[in-house]
Amino acid sequence: MRRRAVYAIWVALGIVAVVLFRAFDASSHSASDTIRPFLITVVPLVIVALLATRSLSRRA
């Protein structure tokens, strides 16, 4: 059960990352206009996902 939760977290994060990248890329004129806001948005999400994964792994 916990393994499914971990997989769901990472699948959801992947989907969110793709959607965010496409949204930032649609309105940008250069690579820096796309990458910088994308990283500012996604890095905290990855950190939270890593902490959630770690927490769920420890409980098992």
The pTM score is: 0.77
Instruction: Please give the residue range of the domain that contains residue 25.
Output: 2-59
In this structure, what DSSP letter does residue 40 have?
H
CA dihedral of residues 35, 40, 41, 47 (deg, nearest 10): 120
pLDDT of residue 60: 58
Whole-number Å distance between alpha carbons of 38 and 45:
11
| Total number of domains constituting the chain | 1
Model confidence over 8-58: pLDDT tens digits?
889 999 999 999 999 989 988 888 888 998 999 999 999 998 998 888 888
The length of the chain is 60
